[in-house]
Amino acid sequence: MIIIERVSLGIEGMTCNHCVMTVTNALKNVDGVKTASVNLDQKTAKVTYDENKTSLEQLKRAVVAAGYQVE
């Protein structure tokens, strides 16, 4: 059974649209992520994902590995 979760992450360190694309791609490359929408002005990432395939911790690790911080 697919369990879809929605989460909003606070992202620190983004300064431009290139940063937005980097964070978006990092999140979308996590297995199980259905959507990822990153907002530079609000410094947030809204993600929907399959809880059976990934976890909140894996999403956070992907952002950190891309060079940014998660609040």
Q: Which of 18, 65, 70, 67 is nearest to 47 (CA)?
A: 70
| Span 26-57, pLDDT tens digits | 999 999 999 999 999 999 999 999 999 999 99
For β-strands 4-12 and 69-70, DSSP reports them as antiparallel
The amino acid at residue 23 is: V
Q: Residue 61: how many CA atoms within 13 Å on its side-chain side?
A: 8
What is the rounded average pLDDT of the residues 17-26?
A: 98
The CATH-assigned architecture of domain 4-70 is 2-Layer Sandwich (3.30)
- CA–CA separation, 4 vs 32, rounded Å? 9
Global pTM value: 0.95
